[in-house]
Homo-oligomer: A and B are copies of this chain.
Amino acid sequence: MSIRPLTLVPALFLASQALAADAPPRTPSAVVAQAPASAWQAVAPDTLLVMTVEGGRRIVIQLAPRFAPAHVANIRALAKAGWWDGKSVYRVQDNYVAQWGDATEKLPLPAGIAADIKPDYAQPLAAAGQAVIPLPYPDAYAPRTGFVDGWPVGMDDASIWLPHCYGMVGVARNLSPDAGTGAELYAVIGQAPRQLDRNIAVVGRVIEGISLLASLPRGSGELGFYTPSEKPLAIVSARMASDLPEAERPRFQVMDVTSQSFADYLRLRANRKDDFYDRPAGGVELCNAPVPVRIQP
């Protein structure tokens, strides 16, 4: 043991690697790698917010109009008006959120943007619109959890909502009853702050570039706001993919949560047992089973 071969280094967490394609999948990653084309669903370009930040790097956010229709309508209009162009990521609080928009909060919103949105933090259960795949493990925050239409959800007997998982995007707001407009957004970059569920509008998730937001320097001001001596990350532009030329649109696919592949993925997320894992947990937390997303092959 005093000398370990270099080739073993990646084995420290080798279990997350895909096995050979002809073996039955034993890990969540292997299930995703082997999932057939039929297990994937295209993401509609009118739900993709494409942000370009300094250095030409890209952050792509998938919006969820089903779960926050009024806020998503605002966000689409804000993107069309170029609201975020020239603005910045101005707050990064460790193990919490990265937040962007107009750091001064002084700029008037573009014409036609609703400023008095009613809280739409949860929807009637019927709004799910299709079968919910249940996650059969106990949860500290919601009576029931599961997945619908590619999204993780919390539920009670009457309503359904998006949870604050890593990478999920919400609408910053002031004290209640203000619900925010969507002009200031944040992404979760730490342990899921699910106490925010149903207290704030969740509008989507970062499907490309979350590591860019999560690795930004933390702000030293109160609540992680950057102080004048700290440099915000400049946003060059933010547009809906549907407003970009065809050739410039990013194309993503989300795993169909009703597919056998997703069932296999969930089962293995909850029960790791392979060359690395000896002891299956027998369960998995809602935010620890992110719905697989990939770039369209």
Contacts and interface: CB of A to CB of B under 8 A. Distances in A.
A139 interface: yes
A175 B281 contact: no
A140 B139 CA distance: 6
B14 A288 contact: no
B211 A94 contact: yes
A217 interface: yes
B281 A223 contact: no
A275 B210 CA distance: 30
A6 interface: yes
Interface residues of A, number: 80
A275 B6 contact: no
**What is the count of identical protomers in the complex?**
2
A261 interface: no
A36 interface: no
Which of A9, A141, A173, A269 gathers most chain B CB within 10 Å? A9
A16 B96 CA distance: 12
Contact of A174 (B8, B217, B278): B8
Given A175-B14, A215-B216, A278-B176, A272 B195 contact: yes
A1 B181 contact: yes
A281 B197 contact: yes
Given A116-B1, A269-B195, A6 B104 contact: yes
A156 B14 CA distance: 28
A11 B94 CA distance: 18
Interface string A164-183: 01110000111111000100
B191 A141 contact: no
A162 interface: no
